[in-house]
Amino acid sequence: MNYIDLFGYFGSFLTCITFMPQVYKTWQTRKAGDLSLAMMLIVVLSTVVWLVYGFSLMLWPVIIANGIVFTLSLVLVYFKLTFKQ
C-alpha cells in the first residue's frame, strides 16, 4: 500500500462520516421534515453508480465509502418516510 492508497482510504473515511451526524440527529429527534427527499434519492442513485464503477475496477476506497454512504442514505430516506411531523 502506498501513500496514494492511504489518501484514498482517508478520503473514503471522510466521505463516510459526512452523513453520520445527520443520521444520528434525525434518529435522536425523530424529525426529518427538513431533509430533502429528492436530494437523498439523488445521493442513493449516485452511490449506486459509484459502486458499479468501483466494483468494475475493484477500487476498494470507492467501494467502501459508497457502500457506507448508500446505507446511511437509505436510513435517512427511511427516516424521512417514517418520521412524520
**Type of residue found at 61:** P
pLDDT digits (tens, 9 = 90+) for 4-37: 988 888 988 998 899 999 999 999 999 999 999 9
Q: Kindly state the percentage of the chain with pLDDT values over 90.
A: 76
DSSP 57-72: HT-HHHHHHHHHHHHH
Question: Which pLDDT does position 85 carry in this prediction?
Answer: 65
User: 2: number of CA atoms within 13 Å, CB side?
Assistant: 1
Question: Which pLDDT does position 75 carry in this prediction?
Answer: 96
What is the value of pTM for the model shown?
Answer: 0.88
CA–CA dist 18, 73 (Å, integer)? 11
Question: Which pLDDT does position 79 carry in this prediction?
Answer: 96
Higher pLDDT, 56 or 61: 56
Beta-carbon neighbour count of residue 39 at 10 Å? 11
Please say whether the beta carbons of 45 and 4 come within 8 A.
no
User: Which residue do the cell numbers 427527499 mark?
Assistant: 37
Residue 38, pLDDT above cutoff 80: yes
- Residues counted in the chain: 85
